[in-house]
Amino acid sequence: MTITYNASSNSMKDYVIANLYKIKEENLTQAEYWYSASPNKSEPTINIKDVFLLVSSIKEVINKDFDKIKKLTKYLKNVANILNILELPII
């Protein structure tokens, strides 16, 4: 849903992670955290690289297979560029 609003891969990653449970092990950096669909550690887990792969795959499929979303995104970017040139706020 955020793709038409030009969401970055990083913000899309944050949306995915917000719906997962962090499985934190001792002495790990944030890049090394593992995430699960439930707080139960026996569930399958994914890491941040997996989330980025999922996000990039979703973006690629949408850009390739959904022409109307691609056109809408281009239209909204053009409107934003015009408003920036005219120094008008985007509300």
What's the confidence (pLDDT) of residue 44? 76
Tens digits of residue pLDDT in 37-90:
777 766 778 888 888 898 888 888 887 888 888 888 888 889 989 999 999 998
Number of residues that make up the chain: 91
CB atoms within 10 A of CB 17: 15
Residue 32 contacts by C-beta under 8 Å, 6 or more apart in sequence? 47
Sheet containing strand 45-47, edge to edge, reads 21-23, 34-36, 45-47
* DSSP-assigned letters across all residues of 18-43: HTSEEEPPTT--GGG-EEESSS-TTS
- pTM value is 0.60
pLDDT given at position 6: 59
Instruction: Kindly compute the dihedral angle of the four CA atoms of residues 68, 73, 79, 82, in this order, to the nearest 10 degrees.
Output: -130
DSSP category for residue 87:
T
